[in-house]
Amino acid sequence: MSTGKTAVVTGAGSGIGRASAKALAAQGYRVLAIDVDSAGADEAVRAVHEAGGQAAAAACDVRDPEAFGAALDDARRRWSAPPALLANVAGIGVAASLTETSPDDWDRVLAVNLTALFHTCRAVLPPMVEAGSGVIVNVASVSGLVGVRDRAAYCASKAGVIGLTRSIAVDYAHLGIRANAICPGTVASEWIGKILADSPDPAATRARMEARQLDGRMGTPEEVASGIAFLAGDGARFVNGSAFVMDGGMTAI
């Protein structure tokens, strides 16, 4: 049954984003699936529709605040409702230490992973405040909590996501807004698949990644999506300003 609420999911074209679009639709949200990859966004919408949910796609680079605002306006006209939930899933990474990270790669990772969230959250907060309620879930990473080898720009960006999320919670809680960061460990996503494919020894690299989790396996996009759906729901009404860790115990030791 539809909740009558709209969820905006960035990075919905693949991995955690697509799984989140499906999970939120299953909770009754109408989903605006945003991705720079238009084919991926369309595929997320097809998956939602096949499961009986409502969704629309928008090909949008989250670094472009005007394009994101236009996508929000289109969704509001389509469903006659402001966004009740923003799930910021879009992100990129570069495998490099600090001295091996080029200035261009640094700027690109920070632009997608952090500055874009400034723009997307800034766009949804006014209508949420007007409505007197709203939820923001930003996908950070355990890499924002601990150092991870050869992920300098990524670690910095995800630590920034956690700080930004907590500042939103502090500033807007009294206006009915909740904001939480979710911090996955290693997830079997397309990005991890590319890292493995580019590795000189994919099997050994996979084994090292799996061993970082206490149960010896990577997480799945669906598992992280279930965490996002939980944080979006009424069962998480007392969760605000958190760094919600889902890492298979990676940071427990």
Instruction: Find tokens 């679009």 and name the residue.
Output: 21
Domain with 236 in it: what CATH number? 3.40.50.720
Q: Are residues 98 and 203 in the same domain?
A: no
Is 22 part of any domain? yes
Residue 197, burial from CB neighbour count under 10 angstroms (0-12, 13-18, 19+) = exposed
Q: What is the mean pLDDT of the chain?
A: 95
Rounded distance between C-alpha atoms, residue 218 and residue 209, angstroms: 7
133 and 29, same domain (yes or no): yes
Same structural domain, 134 and 202: no
Q: How far apart are CA 98 and CA 84, in angstroms?
A: 38
Question: Beta partners for 151?
Answer: 96
Q: Which residues pair with 177 in a beta bridge?
A: 134
Is residue 251, in this structure, part of any structural domain at all? no
Q: Would 252 be classed as within a structural domain?
A: no
pLDDT tier at 159 (50, 70, 90 boundaries)? very high
Distance CA 120, CA 136 (A): 10
| Same domain as 199, residue 155 | no
pLDDT tens by residue, 182-217: 999 999 887 777 777 888 888 888 898 888 889 899
Residue 39 lies in a domain: yes
Which residue segment(s) compose the domain that 194 sits in? 186-218
Residues 132 and 175: beta-carbon distance below 8 Å: yes
Residues 22 and 49 in one domain: yes
Residue 250 in any domain: the answer is no
Please determine, for residue 237, whether its predicted confidence score (pLDDT) is greater than 70.
Answer: yes
pLDDT value for 212: 87
Q: Which two tokens stand for residue 172?
A: 């807007």
Instruction: Give the count of domains, the chain.
Output: 2
Q: Supply the pTM of this predicted model.
A: 0.94
Tokens representing 43 are: 């595929």
Q: Is residue 122 part of a domain?
A: yes
Checking if the pLDDT of 238 tops 70, the result is yes
pLDDT at 194: 79
Residue 225 pLDDT > 70: yes
Quick one: pLDDT at residue 191? 75
Mean pLDDT of 140-164: 96
- Same-domain check for residues 173 and 208: no
Contact (CB, 8 A) for 161 and 113: yes
Angstrom distance (rounded) from CA 40 to CA 59: 9
Q: In the predicted model, is pLDDT for residue 1 greater than 60?
A: no
My answer on whether 128 and 232 are in the same domain is yes
Query: Do 130 and 86 fall within a single domain?
Result: yes
Active-site positions?
154
237, 117: one domain: yes
Same domain membership, residue 61 and residue 105: yes
Q: Are residues 160 and 42 in the same domain?
A: yes
pLDDT digits (tens, 9 = 90+) for 10-22: 999 999 999 999 9
44 and 79 part of one domain = yes
